[in-house]
Amino acid sequence: MPRIPADEILIAGQWRRGRGTPIHTVDPADGSVLTTVHAASAEDVDEAAHAAAAAAAAPEWRDLAPHDRARVLYRIGDAIEEHADELSALQTADTGKTLGETRALALSAAGTFRYTAAALETGEDALTPSRGPYLTMSTHEPIGVVAAINPWNSPIASDAQKAAPALAGGNAVLLKPAEWTPLVSLAFGRLVHRALADAGLPTALLAVLPGRGRVVGDAIARHPLVGRIGFTGGTDTGRAIARVAADKLVPASLELGGKSPTIVREDADLEQALAGVMYGIFSSSGQSCIAGSRLFVHASLHDAFLTELVRRVRGLRVGPGTSPETQVAPLVHHAHRDGVAAAVERARAEGGRVLCGGAAPQGERYAKGAYYLPTVIDSLPNSARACQEEIFGPVLVAQPYADEDDLVARANDSVYGLACGIWTRDARAAWRLGRRIEAGTVWINTYKQFSVSTPFGGVKDSGLGIEKGRDLIRAYQRQKSLYWGTDTTPLPWAN
C-alpha cells in the first residue's frame, strides 16, 4: 500500500484542512476506504484565488526571466520522475489503473514539464511588419489566475498538461481534481509546492482544491479573479463551464467526451488490427475519452474478425491494478461500474447481441471491487444509444461496412469528434479516410499514442481549443501590441 498523503489540502500556499464536506476516497479493487480528505469549500476557493492573484503579481514571479522560470519547471519535472513509483502506486490505489499505466502517466507528466520548460526558453516575442512611421511589436503577458479542472481517469497527466503551460505563461493555478481521485493531485501539489519554496517563489502559485464539482468547481469557474478556465471532463459539464466563461468573457479550453470510430479495411494487417482494436478500447478499462469504442470492419472480414476478436477478448486477464498480470483493471468507482452495466443492459434491450462480457466477473477475488468484464456487442444500428453515447467503460460496439461513403457517413454520425483509428496497408486510402473523418486526432496503424509536442483537441461536442503543443503557453497569456512612433512630424490636430 502506498503512503497516503495527509488529509490537508493546498490552500493559499499552505497545507491545511479544507472547510468543505469530507470526501472518502475508495480503492476500487476492493472497496476499502483509503483515506478521508477534508475538501475545499467556496470560502477556501475565494481565499486561494486572492492569494493566487497576489502571487502572480509578485515581482519575484512576474518579473522572472523566462529561462529562470523554465528552471523551476525542469525541477518539477525532475521531482515527478524521482517520485514516479510513489505517484504510480498512489494513482493505482485511487483509480484502480494498472501500475504499468500509472507509471507511464507519471513519466508523461514529468516529460510535459520538461518540454514546456524547453518551449519557454526558446519562445520569443516579435517585431511585426508596419507601413507607417512607427515600430510595432507583439508581446505576451500572463493572464493572472487560471483554473485547471480535471477528470478522474488520468489525473497527474491532466494536471501537468494544464499546470505546466499555465505556470510557464507566468500565471497562478487553481487546480481542481476530481472528487473520486484527489490523492495523486495532492501529491503532485506537494512536489510543486516544494519546488516553488526551494526557488524562493510564492507557494500560492498553485492551489489544489478537491471537492464536489457543483461546489468547488463552480466556485472556481465563477470566481471573478479567474481569467481562464481549462476543463477536461464530460460534455454536459463542459457546456455549463462554457456558459460561465461566456458570461465572464474569459477564454476557456474544453476537452470533452468521445465515441471514437476504429476502422478495419479489407487490406489491413489483421494481427496489428486485432491487437490495436483491443488496446484502443480495453486498455484503461475503456475509461478514456479517446477509447476506440465503435468498431467498423469491412464486410468481407467482419464475421471472421469478430470471431477471433471475441476469442482474444475472453482471454484478457481481469484483476487488481497492483497485479503485474492484469490487463483489465477495475473501474474507478462502484457507481461508475453500475452505470456501465446499465448501458450494456440498454444495448441488450435495443436488440444488441452481447458476444462476450456483459457482466461483472464472478469469484471471491472480484466480489468487493468495481470490476466489469471486457464486452463486445454487435447487431445494433448506428442510431442505438450504445453506438451514440459515451459509455466510458470496456464496451465495444461492432458494425460491418461495405462502402466507403457509407462508412464515413456512419463514422461521422455522432455528436463527438475526438479521435479515430484506421487499420490499412493502403497509404492513399488511409490519407483519404483520415481527412474525411471528423476528428481532432487520427491514428493510422496505431492507437492511443501521444506526443506532448503534438496538439490535441476535438471537434463538435468533443470540445474547444487544444492541449499540448509548443503554442499552448500562448493560450495562457494575453497578447499586447505596442506602437513606437519614429516620425518627428506632429500628428494631425496637434495644434
CATH at residue 81: 3.40.605.10
In a shared domain, residues 250 and 284: no
Place of cell 516544494: 194
What are 296-311's pLDDT values in tens digits? Answer: 999 999 999 999 999 9
Q: How many beta carbons lie within 10 A of that of residue 46, not counting itself?
A: 16
In a shared domain, residues 370 and 286: yes
Cell for 94? 485511487
Q: Which residues does 252 contact at the CB level (< 8 Å), separation at least 6?
A: 228, 229, 230, 231, 241, 242, 245, 464, 465
User: Measuring CA to CA, how many Å separate 95 from each of 29, 60, 308, 335, 336?
Assistant: 9, 37, 31, 13, 12
Calculate what percentage of the chain has a pLDDT beyond 90: 92
**Cα–chain-centroid distance for residue 200?**
31
CA distance 318 to 366: 9
In a shared domain, residues 473 and 375: no
In a shared domain, residues 111 and 229: yes
Whether the full predicted model's pTM is greater than 0.85, yes or no, is: yes
| Mean pLDDT value of segment 372-386 | 97
Whether 1 has a pLDDT exceeding 60, the answer reads no
In a shared domain, residues 384 and 407: yes
In a domain, 489, yes or no: no
In a domain, 268, yes or no: yes
CA distance 413 to 204: 46
Residue 96 pLDDT: 97
In a domain, 455, yes or no: no
Contact criterion met (CB below 8 Å) for 287 and 153:
yes
| Mean pLDDT value of segment 276-294 | 98
| Mean pLDDT value of segment 304-333 | 98
Residue 344 pLDDT: 98
Please state the domain count of the chain: 2
In a shared domain, residues 216 and 317: no
Q: Per residue in 207-226, is it b (16+ CB within 10 Å) or e — as a string? A: bbbbbebebbbbbbbbbebb
Q: How big is the CA angle at 463 (ends 180 and 420), to the nearest 5 degrees?
A: 95
In a shared domain, residues 185 and 150: yes
CA distance 395 to 376: 6
Q: Which residues does 214 contact at the CB level (< 8 Å), separation at least 6?
A: none
In a domain, 64, yes or no: yes
In a shared domain, residues 398 and 474: no
Place of cell 515581482: 59
Contact criterion met (CB below 8 Å) for 4 and 34:
yes
Closest-CA residue to 389 (of 213, 235, 283, 279): 235
What are 414-450's pLDDT values in tens digits? Answer: 999 999 999 999 999 999 999 999 999 999 999 999 9
In a domain, 209, yes or no: yes
User: Measuring CA to CA, how many Å separate 372 from each of 171, 359, 365?
Assistant: 41, 6, 13
Which long-range CB contacts under 8 A does 13-17 form with residues at least 24 apart? 13/51, 13/55, 13/193, 13/202, 13/203, 13/204, 13/205, 13/207, 14/203, 15/190, 15/193
Span between the terminal Cα atoms of the chain, in Å: 80
In a shared domain, residues 301 and 430: yes
In a shared domain, residues 167 and 311: no
Q: Active-site residue numbers?
A: 255
Question: Which residues form the domain of 404?
Answer: 261-444
- Range of lowest pLDDT (332-346, 352-366, 470-484): 470-484
**Cα–chain-centroid distance for residue 217?**
16
3-state secondary structure of 374: coil
Q: How many beta carbons lie within 10 A of that of residue 135, not counting itself?
A: 13
In a domain, 4, yes or no: no
In a domain, 81, yes or no: yes
Q: For CA atoms 223, 36, 181, 332, give the dihedral sign.
A: negative
Place of cell 461566456: 246
Closest-CA residue to 357 (of 365, 369, 349, 345): 345
Whether 218 has a pLDDT exceeding 80, the answer reads yes
Binned at pLDDT 50, 70 and 90, residue 266 comes out as very high
In a shared domain, residues 305 and 378: yes
Q: What is the CATH number of the domain that holds 372?
A: 3.40.309.10
